[in-house]
A and B are shown apart, each in its own frame.
Chain A
């Protein structure tokens, strides 16, 4: 019997500690199609994919590949059956070069001495170069992984999956860290793969993108299959309401707030190789967005404002007073908070509890003579968990057990403990689901209404347009324009953001 489908996952059940995380979920994928899998965090997408990859074992149901029932005990089994996955969290070996990462575990050998064989680096580089040129990617196969940008690492990962001659490729949030131009390159790759009859399971939170690239869409919610349909029959709003299980009237709840005096002024900020001559001011109650492509110097700029790195030149005024910030401590004393982009790297201590993460910046206010008032700490943590609607079993739970959206709320809660007046957010909604995004948007709006000044970096232009009063655009480390809310348009922002694009990609 020949099936229409390259992959069928039928009535998959899975429970963890008696909690059902997948309940009779069915996913059928045709060869040569892009099948988007969407749903909020915790909907069961990752679990389903981990079952497919052999990382978890299903409790019930069957997996059929090419008409043959299979049981994968490890990712290795999955890969040999032509299923490979590009993970959301990339795991390259940073001290190896690009070609070595591509051929990791299946090195090309010069001799046949088993584990003692010599690796034919030259041939690996040659083949890598061929793969890259076939896909129009401009990366040196000899470059060390650690010297590549996140976006470039992602492209390498994609090439690696493709070079495994996979028939089903799972892409988990492939565009969460790459620029619009690189997304275009990625989509070109996807179309080439389709032409070669490869099936792609595409997981993303960016619905615009999903509607653009997917042929069919499957929506999961709370471990159940909600719908599978042709993408052209579905609209953005329909998808959202299926994902969250309720109507969302407005995704961006913008409140117009009367702005007050200037609280932060940045003058002629320069850091060689990162940004130059940046000047702007931020008012009380204002939400000021920073747009720009990845690599435009946005994160580097706010890191210098916050004292993590030292600017080479420039002045900073808080409430009209000139301040020198050389360490985050000074910034915190000036009532500035920075919610960094990379939760796992700079935001959280994943080895400890939600409570201890929330309290760490504000410990001084919870202690006397260096002794922590643990009752007060617990109360504050509880109230923050409630106020931020962090979904967690207990404040003592490990923060690593939370979903991305809830982890991000923990980072926000931690910084709000310091009662900041100036709040800098770097990609506050990166990689989190629609429901948590909306919670964060509402919170940002409330903070602005409470008179906080907000500086917000985002790569999602609709998000900036929805929330901000003004948007500041950076390109190649330079300030290319500041747009007022009434003049917002995607085109205007993109034009300013790509001003030096040619110069940047020499």
Chain B
């Protein structure tokens, strides 16, 4: 009985104000949009569409969340999306290789860039912002060279179906990937020793090291994971736009960072919840979808999105003071 009481208390404790805040904001925005546009926005088909729109950013944001919790940042994910998309499309021409080849090559490429980011941060002691700013530019250059500056067209139907297909004819494959990847990574973050160590090095790196944690190895793993997920996102984007475009994925890293921060993950590392990031990614998609439906110009959408990021962080800071 006492065990139960403790559990219940802790649940109240854990649901910290800022996560409630972002959840409430999400619900309020949903309700407002449903009232403003009952016929278009609130239709089930549109809601599924929102999930689909959130999925690629959601996958990137999940990797970004690991990096930010560990106390870092990764600016290179947008460029990785482009490079892995180009590589995937280049190996997905009809009659050349089985589907597994472009998938594996693109994912390995993403993971490799992430690994190099991690080595630079952990063993080179270079600030993550600088390392990944560098690789962001380098990888973009490689993507442009690999694709000769032009989108890579002519991919197989199978490749196109990766992102374009449906499960049971209604749920887009993209949504399934998003959900499965999120759940696996949420499980790793909350239930495994590795996940706990990611929080530990972000919370207090020196204390983590003194506690016998191999800080360098964890960092390399975290950046590799982020690159790996960016590789997957790259394949999915290439599949969705039916080509590998070396200029795609511009500013995707910023959307991913925005989702993580709106979701209440601390920029200084060590704290944050996976479901916050999911809500962050969904919120971004809901806003652009809703504003599209309401015929708000994309120029104004940028302003609204920016304001929401700032307000989210403001709630975050105020919430912490209250605690």
- List the interface of chain A (C-beta within 8 A of B): 306, 308, 327-329, 331-332, 338, 340, 345-352, 356, 359-361, 363-364, 367, 370-372, 374, 382, 393-398, 414
Contacts and interface: CB of A to CB of B under 8 A. Distances in A.
B270 interface: yes
Contact of B13 (A332, A346, A363, A396): A396
Contact of A397 (B13, B199, B202): B13
Contacts of B10: 394-396
Interface stretch (B52-60, B136-144, B207-215, B309-317): B207-215
A299 to B, nearest CB: 12
Contacts of B323: 398
Contact of B209 (A328, A350, A374): A328
A349 B196 contact: no
Nearest to B272: A351
Contact of B206 (A346, A359, A367): A346
B154 interface: no
Interface stretch (B76-84, B186-194, B231-239): B186-194
Contact of B211 (A350, A361, A395): A361
B194 A351 contact: no
Nearest to A411: B207
Given A308-B209, A352-B271, A360 B214 contact: no
Which 5 pairs across A and B sit closest by C-beta, in order of nearness? A349-B203, A396-B10, A351-B270, A351-B203, A332-B212
Interface in B266-288: 266, 269-271
Nearest to B194: A370
A28 B52 CA distance: 68
Contacts of B204: 345-346, 348-351
B113 interface: no
5 contacts: A331-B212, A338-B210, A345-B207, A356-B199, A398-B323
B6 interface: yes
A437 to B, nearest CB: 23
Given A364-B193, A374-B191, A349 B210 contact: no
A435 to B, nearest CB: 25
Contacts of B203: 349-352
Contacts of A332: 212
Nearest to B5: A394
B193 to A, nearest CB: 5
A364 B192 CA distance: 10
Interface of B is mostly: helix
Given A329-B214, A349-B208, A351-B271, A371 B199 contact: no
Given A332-B212, A351-B269, A360-B213, 17 more contacts: A306-B210, A327-B214, A338-B210, A346-B204, A349-B203, A349-B204, A349-B208, A350-B204, A351-B270, A351-B271, A352-B200, A360-B208, A367-B193, A371-B192, A372-B196, A393-B13, A394-B10
A447 B239 CA distance: 63
Contacts of B209: 308, 328
Contacts of B269: 351
B303 interface: no
Nearest to B69: A351
Nearest to B16: A398
A346 B209 CA distance: 8
Contacts of B299: none
A359 B191 CA distance: 13
A363 B193 contact: yes
B9 interface: yes
Given A349-B270, A351-B266, A356-B196, A396 B14 contact: yes
Nearest to B13: A396
A396 B14 CA distance: 7
A356 B10 CA distance: 13
A463 to B, nearest CB: 23
Contacts of B208: 349, 360
Contacts of A382: 6
A328 B210 contact: yes
A370 B207 contact: no
Contacts of A328: 209-212
Given A352-B270, A372-B191, A363 B196 contact: yes
B64 to A, nearest CB: 18
Which of B191, B199, B211, B323 has the most chain A CB within a 10 Å cutoff?
B211
Nearest to B2: A382
B189 to A, nearest CB: 11
Contact of B9 (A363, A364, A393): A393
A349 B200 contact: yes
A364 B212 CA distance: 11
B85 to A, nearest CB: 32
A370 B6 contact: no
Contacts of B193: 363-364, 367, 370-372
B214 to A, nearest CB: 7
B260 to A, nearest CB: 16
A363 B198 CA distance: 13
A308 B211 CA distance: 10
A252 to B, nearest CB: 28
